[in-house]
C-alpha cells in the first residue's frame, strides 16, 4: 500500500505564492506578523521585494491591500481566519468587497483543527461572514493539490476572493491530474441513496464515510464543494434529484456555511431533507487537532451516522 501523503493546505498556499512570484504577474503579499504560521514566510524568503509585513493591524492591512489593488496589484493579504474574516470584516466589506478590488484573502488556521490554541483562535464563522459580501468568492480546498489550484485560480480571477486554509496536515485526496474551476463542484464517487456534499478537510472524511456506508449496503454519492461561493447550484439540484437526501459536511459552524448554502439551493429548487454535519453552534476548545475533530463530530463516523439518519427520512 502506498504511503498516504499528508500536507497542510497552508503549506500549499505558501508554495503556490512562491510559484506565482516566479511569474511576471504583478503580485504583492501582505501579512500581519504571522508569516511563519500562514506560510507567506516562504514567499518572503523567495521574493522579499514583493512582500510587506503590516504588523498586528489586520484592519489597516485590508485597507492597504485595497489601495495597492487600486494601483494595479493583485494583492494576497494573509492572516488567521479569525482575524482576516472576523476582526477585519468591515474593512473587507467596505474597502475590498464594495469597490470589488483585486484582493485575495489568504486565511489560514480556519476551524477547530487549529487545536491547542483553543476557541479564541478556532474560527468557525468565517464562511458565514464572507458569504454575505456581494461578489466575494469563497474557496475551501480539501488538500494540498486543490489548495495550489485555488491560489492560482484566485490570482486569475478579477475581484475579491477569500481562501480558507487549515493548520493541520491532511491526507491528499486528489492526484496531479485533478482540474479545479471556481464555481464547480465535483462528484468524487457516484451513488444512489444519499449525497454527501463536503468541503475542506471533511472531503476525505466523506469518502471514508461512503466506504463504510457501502459495507452496510448504502450507496453514497460524494461531492467535493471547494467553492462555497458562487455555489454550484447544478450539482446540488442534480444530487437532490438523484439521491433524494443530502448530508453536508464542513469544519465550520452549521450556521452560515456550506450546509446553509446547500439548504438554500435545495429549498428553492428540489426540497428534500438536508442534514448538516459541522460544529454545532458551540465554541471550540484546546486539545490535539485530530482528537478535537472526533470530539466535535467532524469525522467519517458522524457523517456515516447522519447519512443513515438521512436515508430513513426518504
Q: Which residues are catalytic?
A: 58
The grid coordinates listed for 191 are 451513488
Residue 57 vs 119, nearer CB to other proteins: 57
CB of 162 to other proteins, least distance (A): 18
Which one among 20, 42, 52, 262 touches other proteins, defined by CB under 8 A? 52
CB of 164 to other proteins, least distance (A): 23
Give the torsion through C-alpha atoms of 162, 163, 164, 165, to 10 deg: -150
Which one among 7, 70, 219, 269 touches other proteins, defined by CB under 8 A? 70
Residue 103 vs 266, nearer CB to other proteins: 103
Per-residue contact flags (x/-) with other proteins for residues 223 to 252, judged by CB under 8 A: ------------------------------
Binding status of residue 46 toward other proteins by CB under 8 A: no
CB of 150 to other proteins, least distance (A): 24
Which one among 68, 151, 235, 303 touches other proteins, defined by CB under 8 A? 68
Residue 57 vs 152, nearer CB to other proteins: 57
d(CA 226, CA 24): 27
User: Which long-range contacts link 2-5 to residues 24+ away (Cβ below 8 Å)?
Assistant: 4/171, 4/172, 5/144, 5/171, 5/172
Rounded to the nearest 5°, which phi and psi values hold at 20?
-65, -35
Stretch touching other proteins by CB under 8 A, among 40-48, 57-65, 131-139, 248-256: 57-65
The grid coordinates listed for 255 are 450556521
Which one among 57, 152, 237, 255 touches other proteins, defined by CB under 8 A? 57
Binding status of residue 269 toward other proteins by CB under 8 A: no
Q: How many Cβ atoms from other residues are within 10 Å of residue 60's Cβ?
A: 14
Which one among 99, 118, 159, 171 touches other proteins, defined by CB under 8 A? 99
Which one among 5, 36, 71, 267 touches other proteins, defined by CB under 8 A? 71
Whether the CB-CB separation of 304 and 212 falls below 8 Å is answered with yes
**In the chain, alpha helices (H):** 9-21, 35-38, 40-46, 58-70, 81, 89-91, 126-131, 144-156, 202-215, 233-243, 258-268, 289-295, 300-312
Binding status of residue 78 toward other proteins by CB under 8 A: no
Which one among 8, 16, 28, 129 touches other proteins, defined by CB under 8 A? 28
Stretch touching other proteins by CB under 8 A, among 93-101, 239-247, 268-276, 286-294: 93-101
Whether the CB-CB separation of 136 and 229 falls below 8 Å is answered with yes
Whether the CB-CB separation of 281 and 253 falls below 8 Å is answered with yes
**Three-state helix/strand/coil letters over 166-182:** CCCEEECCCCCCCCCCC
Which one among 33, 86, 100, 237 touches other proteins, defined by CB under 8 A? 100
Describe the crossing of helices 300-312 and 202-215 by its angle, rounded to 10 degrees: 60
Which residues lie closer than 8 Å to 1 by C-beta, 6 or more apart? none
Residue 161 vs 246, nearer CB to other proteins: 161
Q: Give Rg (Cα) of the chain.
A: 19
CB of 153 to other proteins, least distance (A): 23
Residues that bind other proteins (CB under 8 A): 28, 49, 52, 54-55, 57, 59-73, 90-91, 94-95, 98-100
Amino acid at each position: 500500500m502506498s504511503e498516504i501523503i499528508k500536507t497542510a493546505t497552508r503549506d500549499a498556499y505558501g508554495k503556490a505564492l512562491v510559484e506565482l512570484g516566479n511569474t511576471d504577474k504583478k503580485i504583492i503579499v501582505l501579512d500581519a506578523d504571522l508569516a511563519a504560521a500562514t506560510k507567506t514566510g516562504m514567499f518572503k524568503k523567495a521574493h522579499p521585494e514583493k512582500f510587506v509585513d503590516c504588523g498586528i493591524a489586520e484592519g489597516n492591512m485590508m485597507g492597504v491591500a485595497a489601495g495597492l489593488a487600486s494601483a494595479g496589484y493583485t494583492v494576497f493579504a494573509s492572516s488567521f481566519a479569525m482575524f482576516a474574516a472576523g476582526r477585519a470584516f468591515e474593512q473587507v466589506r467596505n474597502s475590498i468587497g464594495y469597490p470589488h478590488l483585486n484582493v485575495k484573502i489568504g486565511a489560514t488556521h480556519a476551524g477547530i483543527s487549529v487545536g491547542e490554541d483553543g476557541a479564541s483562535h478556532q474560527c468557525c464563522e468565517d464562511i458565514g461572514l464572507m458569504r454575505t459580501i456581494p461578489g466575494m468568492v469563497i474557496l475551501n480546498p480539501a488538500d494540498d493539490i486543490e489548495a495550489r489550484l485555488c491560489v492560482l485560480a484566485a490570482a486569475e480571477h478579477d475581484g475579491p476572493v477569500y481562501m480558507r486554509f487549515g493548520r493541520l496536515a491532511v491526507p491528499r485526496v486528489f492526484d496531479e491530474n485533478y482540474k479545479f474551476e471556481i464555481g464547480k463542484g465535483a462528484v468524487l464517487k457516484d451513488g444512489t441513496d444519499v449525497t454527501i456534499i463536503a468541503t475542506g478537510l471533511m472531503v476525505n472524511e466523506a469518502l471514508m464515510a461512503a466506504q463504510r456506508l457501502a459495507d452496510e449496503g448504502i450507496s453514497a454519492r460524494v461531492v467535493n464543494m471547494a467553492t462555497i461561493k458562487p455555489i454550484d447550484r447544478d450539482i446540488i439540484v442534480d444530487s437532490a434529484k438523484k439521491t433524494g437526501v443530502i448530508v453536508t459536511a464542513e469544519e465550520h459552524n452549521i450556521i452560515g456555511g456550506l450546509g446553509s448554502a446547500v439548504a438554500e439551493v435545495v429549498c428553492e429548487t428540489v426540497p428534500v431533507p438536508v442534514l448538516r454535519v459541522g460544529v454545532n453552534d458551540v465554541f471550540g476548545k484546546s486539545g490535539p487537532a485530530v482528537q478535537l475533530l472526533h470530539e466535535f463530530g467532524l469525522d467519517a463516523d458522524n457523517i456515516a451516522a447522519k447519512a443513515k439518519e438521512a436515508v430513513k427520512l426518504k
